[in-house]
Structure 1
Amino acid sequence: MTETVTSKDGTLISYLKVGEGPGIIILHGAMESAYSHIELARALSDSFTVYLPDRRGRGRSGPYGLDFSTQKEVEDLDALLSKTDSHFVMGVSAGAIVALNASLELKAIHKAIIFEPPLMTDNLISADWMDRYDREISAGKVAAALVTGMLGSQMGPPVLHRMPRWFLTAMTKLMMTLEGSSDGSDGPIPMKVLAPTLHYDVQLANEMEGKQKDLLSAIDINVLLLGGSLSPPYLKAAMDTLEKLIPNSRRVEFAGFHHGLTGNKNRGGHPETVASEIKSFLAQV
């Protein structure tokens, strides 16, 4: 079921609703949409009502706006929490940055699940590649931009990073062709439609840099930290930072899984495994 809520600035946020029980909102990550966690939602649906928003700028949700910031996404989440009377939030990757900021600001959140936010820690990664990405998007070179984003964010198996860029670009063009011509307004959003959104998720990571210590140490709710053993080093370092700074946190690392763990199976996810850990955490008093 698809519903909508209006954020503080008037932006319409569209979301899917699955299951019955206490509410949990799942904020997807970069190059994702509401449908990216539909299988996780179904795995949780016997115990929870799961709300899957298209974060602004995607799907049926409204645009980013000229004054886009992390605060805007926190306000979007606040509106959804209020409408659904939910008290649990899960943030995945860039969505986890929103969830962390919201956990400090929004008293409606009683527990949070955080999966591998892209924090700029220990100089293990930078966003210098974004200038090239933006130029390629502006020039309509979407496949080339997606390759730049994949390499810059250190995503994909290590073997891909040893392949020539021209080959990766050709393969990405083929994958985009196989996705078809859907605009994502009523289902999964294709890569070519999602591509421009990566700019804004990197903005979230940049805004988070420099305020991590003060923000994270002030979070006073129970937090479950989830990650995969095969994820890039900078994401594992981010989880180390979260575990050290968030007072009431517990960390679970899933052996043999990577950054796509929470997503649908066709993207390398294992939703049932993640759902089991979430249910156990949320059942604790």
Structure 2
Amino acid sequence: MTIQERPQAAELTTSFVTSDDGTRIAFHTIGHGPGVVLLHGSMETARNHVTMAEELADAFTVHLPDRRGRGQSGPYGDDYSVRKEVEDLDAVLNETGAHYVFGVSASGVAVLQAARTLPAIHKVAVYEPALLLEDIPQLTGWIDRFDREMAEGKVAAALVTSMLGLRLGPPIMNVMPRGLLTWLTGLLTKSEDKNAKPGDATMRMLAPTLHYEGVLMAELADTLDRFADVQAEVLLLGGSKGLPFLKPALSGLEKTIPHVERIEFPGLDHDASGDVSKRNPAGRPEIVAAELRRFFTAAA
């Protein structure tokens, strides 16, 4: 059962569906045609992929869920795992009748996991899925420190911990004093808070979600072989300037998944699929959307 709200910006309508554990999941819809679900990545909500949705809306009915814990969706709950992500996606697919799914980073690896068990998924496109080929301590061991800093209200320090742990920043971050990085991040978060418009999801608001993205990555680390049973068609996407530690996973998935195609975009980075913003000036969603259009339109 869904609850309809009045149309919002860009002619999106907002609906709600209930996941298996009772959590309410919001999704925003635009367009006409076969259904496509676009799942956002870390430190984002559904509103970060509106441009991509608009690019596809003339040929597809595009659904943009807020992953749990973000936007208008319900909380994570006490037993969060990739299973919850799969159940949430399953609820949206059952409600909308969509058969095509896109995911990026953490949601990308969750989508691939969903494709192993949900027959409704016929085609999957993922942009730099956050799959670690082994449980690398640096990439999963930052969560305890992050949790302590968040509990102490040190949001800027926690954001720096996650960025260093996940190697999200430029190389210069690795040689800058942590105190300086924390101070600069604090200035940025304060500026964003001051200029935020109603409905904006700021870094401060989204910071707690990073714990769960870390949990997801740790849970799925060293699970490459399991994706050999994905029967859906899969499009692997990435940028030449994407995160280096995720490139081995793309190569491994290309060799493991039976029905697969891989494309690397010259000059694009890890956040290329997201809307252009102050936080994401290098976003190129129209380029990524063009490949999604081709892939989802092509005959099986």
| Aligned counterpart, 2:43 | 31
Query: TM-score, normalised to structure 1's length?
Result: 0.94
User: Matches of 1:122 and 1:79 in 2, distance apart?
Assistant: 31
- Per-residue CA deviation, residues 115-170 of structure 1 (Å, 9 max, x unaligned), is 11222226765311111111111111000110111111111222333322222212
- Could you tell me how far apart the structure 1 residues matched to 2:195 and 2:258 are? 44
Q: Deviations over 1:45-84 (max 9, x none)?
A: 1111111111111121111111111111101100100111
Contact 1:261 1:270 in 2 (8 A): yes
CA distance in structure 2 between the partners assigned to 1:46 and 1:37 by the alignment: 16
Q: Residue 227 of structure 1 aligns with which residue? A: 238
Aligned to 1:282: 296
Partner residue of 1:148 out of 161, 169, 186? 161
Matched with 1:211 is 223
Does 2:290 correspond to 1:273?
A: no
Which residue of 1 is the match for residue 275 of structure 2?
264
Given that residues 123 and 233 in structure 2 are in contact (C-alpha distance below 8 angstroms), is that contact kept between their aligned partners in structure 1?
yes
Is 1:161 the counterpart of 2:174 in the alignment? yes
Residue of structure 2 equivalent to 1:65: 77
**Following superposition, which runs of at least 4 residues in structure 1 exceed 4 angstroms of deviation?**
122-125, 181-184
Q: In 2, distance between residues paired with 1:79 and 1:123?
A: 30
Using the alignment, how far apart are the partners of 1:44 and 1:178 within structure 2?
33
Equivalent position to 2:263, from 249, 252, 260: 252
| Structure 2 counterpart of 1:127 | 140
- Secondary structure of the corresponding residue to residue 62 of structure 2: strand
Corresponding position of 2:3? none
What do the CA deviations read for 1:178-226 (whole angstroms, capped 9, x no partner)? 2226999x6331111111111111111111124320x211101110000
**Which amino acid in 2 is paired with 1:149?**
S
Question: One-letter code of the match for 2:252?
Answer: T
* Highest RCO, 1 vs 2 (Cα 8 Å, sep ≥ 6): 1
SS at match of 2:214: helix
Q: Distance in 1 between matches of 2:60 and 2:199?
A: 22
**How many equivalent residue pairs?**
283
For the residue of structure 1 that corresponds to 2:130, the secondary structure is: coil
Alignment partners' CA distance in 1, 2:266 and 2:196: 36
The answer to whether the 8 Å contact 2:39/2:65 transfers is: yes
8 Å CA contact 2:133, 2:224 repeated in 1: no
Given the two structures, how large is their TM-score scaled by the length of structure 2?
0.90
- Contact kept in structure 2, 1:36 and 1:188, CA below 8 Å: no
Is the partner of 1:180 in helix, strand or coil? helix
Give the 3 Å change call, closer, same or farther, for CA 7–181 of structure 1 in structure 2. Answer: farther
Partner of 2:52: 40
Query: Could you say which residue in structure 2 is the equivalent of 1:193?
Result: 205
Please name the residue that 1:15 is paired with. Answer: 27
- For structure 2, the 5+ residue unaligned runs are 1-12
Letter in 2 for 1:193: M
Contact 1:182-1:190 within 8 A present in 2 as well = no
Where structure 1 has 5 or more consecutive residues not aligned to the other structure, the ranges are none
